[in-house]
Amino acid sequence: MAESFEGYVERIVFRNAENGYTVLSLSQEQEELTCVGTFTFINEGEYIEVTGTLVEHQLYGEQLKVESYQVKEPEDAVSMERYLGSGAIKGVGPALAARIVKKFKLDSFRVIEEEPERLAEIKGISERKAREIAEQFEDKREMRNAMMFLQQYGISNSLGLKIYNEYGPTIYHVLKENPYRLAEDIKGVGFKLADEIARKAGINVNADFRVKAGIIYTLSLASQSGHTYVPEDLLIRKASELLGLTIEEIEKHLTDMALDKRLVMKETEEGKAIYNSTLYYMEMNCARMLLDLNLSYQVDIPAMERRILGIEELDEIELDEMQRAAVVEGSRNGVLIITGGPGTGKTTTINTLIRLFESEGMDIMLGAPTGRAAKRMSETTGYEAQTIHRMLELKASVEDGEGMHFERNETNPLETDVIIIDEMSMVDIYLFHALLKALVVGTRLILVGDINQLPSVGPGNVLRDIIDSKSFPVVELKKIFRQAAESDIVLNAHKINEGKQIALDNKSMDFFMLQRMDVNQIISVVIQLIQEKMPRYVHAEPYDIQVLTPMRKGELGVERLNRILQQYLNPPDESKKEKEIAGGIFREGDKVMQVKNNYQLEWELTNSYGIVVEKGTGVFNGDCGIIKEINFFAELVTVQFEEEKLVEYRFTDLDELELAYAVTVHKSQGSEYPAVVIPVLSGPRMLFTRNILYTAVTRAKSCVTLVGNSEVIKYMIENVNNQKRYTSLDKRIEEMNGMI
Ligand SMILES: Nc1ncnc2c1ncn2[C@@H]1O[C@H](COP(=O)(O)OP(=O)(O)OP(=O)(O)O)[C@@H](O)[C@H]1O
């Protein structure tokens, strides 16, 4: 039976910041009552009325399971003082609260609300502070009301706060008029949640804005799978499934939305293609800018070849015919693409190009899409390489409302003669667009990559489309050089790519297959490999040995493997603090990965004296680090990323991190590890493909160990289930180049 109690919140015993689950101690006249439930923004010292059922907890005795609660405005002087001094109002502690209430007595709250300037009559309160107190007082009240309101729609605390911060008091209006705005404006609110809110708010299922929001959402889902457009019938079908409406009810909105420029419809040979406008114009602008860069330079070829020969002599290397062709093309053209698999001499070619351009006094910049790829490029070329984000000077300015942007763009272009980008297969259309915008005609652009790697996570198939457009010089390196050919990793990678079976007989020095048919056996072998065998074999730390698997779910999926590997590689220890998160825990010492691009997150680089020597923003999808500290007081987790960058995560932002003892092959793109261990037993056909195996194997520098069923490996080599990406940069280039 439900009962009601009133009292002060004496103490917040526990609070889960993510879902608002709280245990608090309520002080009543005689005794204290423990209350558990989901409370939004209740501070110690507040006076509340709670309703719920009294239950007997095995360990903690009697407690109230709260079903609903209400914050009561304090009505007597003691309560007012208690509330003001509770910490709810920043800058007002118990002493100041006591002075306020002593002066204004029962009138205290009214004064704060209506005549805040009078607060300045109190010692220790300036006029400015008086205003601040009044503003906070007002904000707190409104925010609390808004939170309670949002709670009805099942919105958690942290999300509620984000929503409130975006709309402020207009939130009620937004929810009533068009809750789908939330899906567009707020990170963390998807169409599904907005739709749920709309349903609760009684909005019609075939309301125009619902259908339109559903269509935009379908396009955005497609872009998350890498597509820049969707064929019309497929789009209509997907949207109709999502919205539960007929094909006709969807179809009739498309033209309207095209007129409003929310989407673009384009006739193609295969029917109509529908684009989110932004993506359409991005492809189009990329095509234009790339063609603009594609100048031909007059070069004295014999003289150029002599210069190349000179560099070869100095470097004591003899370039292969194709490599030399690449260097010559690089000097003759504004745009050049160099592709090739592992060990085909891409880096050696880049190095010769750098030498050549340098000898002509040109400025060169090197870039790659991820931190790890940039680091590797620096190591192999001996020149400083940066991430493309850094090169373009990504700035996140939340304060001025601009959000994130690149400082380098058409009005402030990169001042350099040559730009070389490595791991180009990972660059999506957004990043490529940003890069091209920051280049002026006359800058040479050299794009290097392996088209057989998995395409970018983000939308686009940029490298392949540029090659397919047949509008730019492309040099494909095929020969595997002797040194590389000594490695079975390289040889097997090429075989896999060509669809040839590989020898799994363990005669190799760097490529092993451990046949195990049982999940538990596989896991125990993986642990042994990481803890003992591999670190010794490749002279690395256990943390550098990376487990790669195609899938997230399942007995050998990333999620389960991480939980198990954490137990063995970073077990619980009294000296290590732990923070519970949805579905697991983070512990000091854990290996973690950032799982989305966060352009606003700040990092700091300190020197050995702990002094900050550099600061910046941006932590990206796939960046790995170690948890250095968990601070419960400040509610922060500090992670040390590559190159010793320190990043602080608020507890509420921990959903951006995941354990990284095991990662998916997709997330490992662009990274290289001393050794990789790949458990393979069974899983969805779509994920057991040649492409995935190729990418996984090519992540290893010194050793690959496959653990599981060799038949599955054979199957993967045969399974060319390359899912089609709907992208059209190639078509836009061809159109603009007058080819179609
Ligand atoms: N022309 C050449 N003659 C002899 N050896 C070469 C030549 N070009 C490259 N190599 C050697 O072949 C190996 C692979 O070359 P390189 O690192 O340039 O290839 P890559 O395509 O960048 O490889 P990966 O993609 O694996 O990094 C290196 O050991 C390099 O020294």
Q: Check the annotation: does 93 bind a ligand.
A: no
Domain 160-274 has CATH 3.30.450.40: no
Q: Which of 226-230, 357-361, 401-405, 672-676 has the lowest mean pLDDT?
A: 401-405
347 Cβ below 6 A of ligand 1: yes
Mean pLDDT value across residues 638-651? 90
Using the structure block, give the residue that is written with the tokens 């292969």. Answer: 320
- The whole-number pLDDT of residue 17 equals 66
Q: Where in the chain is the domain with CATH 3.40.50.300?
A: 294-480, 500-718
* 151 vs 359: CA distance, rounded Å: 66
Ligand 1 centroid to Cα of residue 493, in Å, is: 15
- Rounded to the nearest 5 degrees, what angle is found at the Cα of 582, between the Cα atoms of 576 and 583? 85
For the domain 500-718, what is the CATH code?
A: 3.40.50.300
340 close to ligand 1 (CB < 6 Angstrom)? yes
pLDDT for 82:
75
Q: What's the whole-number mean pLDDT along residues 467-479? A: 96
Which atom of ligand 1 has the smallest separation from the CA of 350?
Answer: 18
Burial of 415 (0-12, 13-18, 19+ CB in 10 A): exposed
- Work out which ligand 1 atom sits closest to the CA atom of 376: 27
Domain(s) labelled CATH 1.10.10.2220 in the chain stretch across 160-274
* Of residues 316, 314, 311, 340, the one with CA closest to residue 328: 311
DSSP 3-state assignment of 6? strand
Give phi and psi for 358, each to the nearest 5.
Answer: -65, -40
pLDDT in tens, 435-466: 999 999 999 999 999 999 988 889 999 999 99
Would the CB of 379 count as within 6 Å of ligand 1?
A: no
Place of tokens 């998916």: 664
Which range among 5-14, 16-25, 592-601, 719-728 shows the weakest confidence by mean pLDDT?
Answer: 16-25
Q: Which two tokens stand for residue 378?
A: 């620096």
Percent of the chain with pLDDT over 90: 56
Using an 8 Å Cβ cutoff, are 250 and 239 in contact?
A: yes
What is the pLDDT, as a whole number, of residue 648? 95
| 343 assigned ligand-binding residue | yes
With pLDDT > 70 as the criterion, what percentage of the chain qualifies?
96
List b or e across 437-456, with b for residues whose CB sees 16 or more CB atoms inside 10 angstroms: bbbeeebbbbbbbbbbbbbb
**Distance in Å, CA 352 to ligand 1 centroid:** 12
Give nearest CA residue, ligand 1 atom 15: 345
Q: Mean pLDDT for the chain?
A: 89
**Euclidean distance between CA atoms 50 and 29, whole angstroms:** 15
pLDDT in tens, 76-103: 777 778 777 766 677 888 888 889 989 9
> Residue 403's pLDDT is what?
59
User: Is the beta carbon of 670 within 6 A of some atom in ligand 1?
Assistant: no
- Residue carrying structure tokens 């509330």: 83
Q: Dihedral, CA atoms, 622, 625, 627, 632, nearest 10 degrees?
A: -50
Contact 324, 313 (CB under 8 A): no
Q: Residue 683 above 60 pLDDT? A: yes
Distance from residue 455's CA to the centre of ligand 1 (Å): 23
Positive or negative: CA dihedral 493, 498, 500, 501: positive
Give the lowest-confidence range in 276-285, 431-440, 547-556, 640-649: 640-649
Residues 6 or more apart from 540 whose CB is under 8 A from it?
534, 674, 675
Q: Is the pLDDT confidence value at 493 over 60?
A: yes
What number is the average pLDDT over the span 616-639?
89
Q: From the CB of residue 258, how many other CB atoms can be counted at a distance below 10 Å? A: 16
- The position carrying tokens 């002066």 is 103
Distance 714 CA to ligand 1 centre (A): 28
Confirm or reject: Cβ of 339 under 6 Å from ligand 1: no
Asked whether the predicted pLDDT for residue 478 surpasses 90, the reply is yes
Question: Is 319 a pocket residue for ligand 1 (Cβ < 6 Å)?
Answer: yes
* pLDDT > 90? residue 21: no
Q: How far apart are CA 539 and CA 674, in angstroms?
A: 8
CA separation (Å) from 317 to 189, 302, 324, 351? 56, 19, 11, 11
The packing angle between helices 690-697 and 488-498, to 10°, is 170
Nearest residue by C-alpha to atom 4 in ligand 1: 481
| CA 312 to centroid of ligand 1, rounded, Å | 14
* Spatial separation of the C-alpha atoms in residues 244 and 242, rounded to whole Å: 6
The rounded Å distance from CA 397 to ligand 1 centre is 42
- Atom 24, ligand 1: residue with shortest CA distance: 342
Q: Would you place residue 499 in the very low, low, confident or very high pLDDT band (cuts 50, 70, 90)?
A: very high
- Give the containing element (helix H, strand E) for 420: strand 418-421
pLDDT in tens, 358-385: 999 999 999 999 887 888 899 999 999 9
**Arithmetic mean of pLDDT, 64-73:** 80
d(CA 126, CA 119): 8
How many angstroms does the Cα of residue 73 sit away from the middle of ligand 1? Answer: 74
Return the number of other C-beta atoms located less than 10 Å from residue 421's C-beta: 26
Q: Which residues does 445 contact at the CB level (< 8 Å), separation at least 6?
A: 290, 293, 334, 335, 336, 418, 419, 421, 439
Is 346 flagged in the annotation as binding?
Answer: yes
Q: Could you give the residue ranges of the DSSP H alpha helices within 115-179? A: 127-151, 157-167, 171-177
Which pLDDT score is estimated for 157? 62
Q: Which atom of ligand 1 is least distant from the CA of 320?
A: 1
Residue 356 has pLDDT above 90, yes or no: yes
Closest atom of ligand 1 to 340 CA is: 21
- Mention every residue, 6+ apart, whose C-beta is less than 8 A from residue 362: 417, 418
Residue 63 has pLDDT above 70, yes or no: yes
Give dist(CA 387, CA 467) in Å, integer. 23
Average pLDDT estimate for 59-71: 83
Could you give the count of Cα atoms lying within 13 Å of 292 in the half-sphere of its Cβ? Answer: 14
Q: Which of 8, 7, 4 is nearest to 88 (CA)?
A: 8
Please report the pLDDT score of residue 397 as a whole number: 58
Q: Which residues contact 295 (CB under 8 A, 6 or more apart)?
A: 333, 334, 441, 442
ipTM of this complex: 0.97
In this structure, the number of other CB atoms found within 10 A of the CB of residue 654 comes to 19
What pLDDT score was predicted for residue 399?
45
Is the Cβ atom of 345 under 6 angstroms away from ligand 1? yes
**Is the distance from the beta carbon of residue 449 to the nearest atom of ligand 1 less than 6 Å?**
no
Which pLDDT value is given to residue 400?
43
d(CA 392, CA 437): 10
Q: Is 344 in the pocket of ligand 1 (CB under 6 A)?
A: yes
pLDDT higher than threshold 60 for residue 270: yes
Query: For the whole model, what pTM was predicted?
Result: 0.77
Query: Which segments of the chain belong to CATH 2.40.50?
Result: 3-144
Least confident of 155-164, 605-614, 721-730: 155-164
> Are the CB atoms for 393 and 408 separated by under 8 Å?
yes
Bridge partner list, 364: 418
| Strands laid side by side in the 662-664 sheet | 511-515, 700-708, 673-680, 545-549, 662-664
The answer to whether the CB of 617 is under 6 A from ligand 1 is: no
Q: Determine which of 175-189, 500-514, 711-725 has the lowest per-residue pLDDT on average.
A: 175-189
Residue 19: which residues within 8 A CB-CB, separation 6 or more? Answer: 38, 156, 157
For the chain, the first-to-last Cα distance in angstroms comes to 76
Select from 440, 387, 389, 386 the least CA-distant residue to 411.
Answer: 440
- Can you name the residues that pair with 581 across neighbouring β-strands? 584
Residue 138 in tokens? 């007002």
Q: What is the pLDDT of residue 659?
A: 96
- The CB density around residue 75, as the number of other CB atoms within 10 Å, is 11
- Inform me whether the pLDDT recorded for 393 exceeds 50: yes
3-state secondary structure of 734: helix
Mean pLDDT of 124-133: 87
Q: What is the CATH number of domain 294-480?
A: 3.40.50.300
- The CATH number assigned to the domain with range 3-144 reads 2.40.50
Taking residue 127's Cβ as centre, other Cβ atoms within 10 Å add up to: 11
Q: Across 16-25, 209-218, 394-403, which has the greatest mean pLDDT?
A: 209-218
In this structure, the residue with its CA closest to atom 26 of ligand 1 is 342
**So what's the pLDDT on residue 158?**
66
Residue 594, pLDDT score: 93
Nearest atom of ligand 1 to the alpha carbon of 319: 1
Q: What is the pLDDT of residue 401?
A: 43
Cα-to-centroid distance, 338 and ligand 1 (Å): 13
Q: What does the alpha-carbon distance between residue 297 and residue 442 come to, in Å, rounded to a whole number?
A: 10
- Report angle CA 398, 404, 406 to the nearest 5 degrees: 135
What SS3 class is residue 3? strand
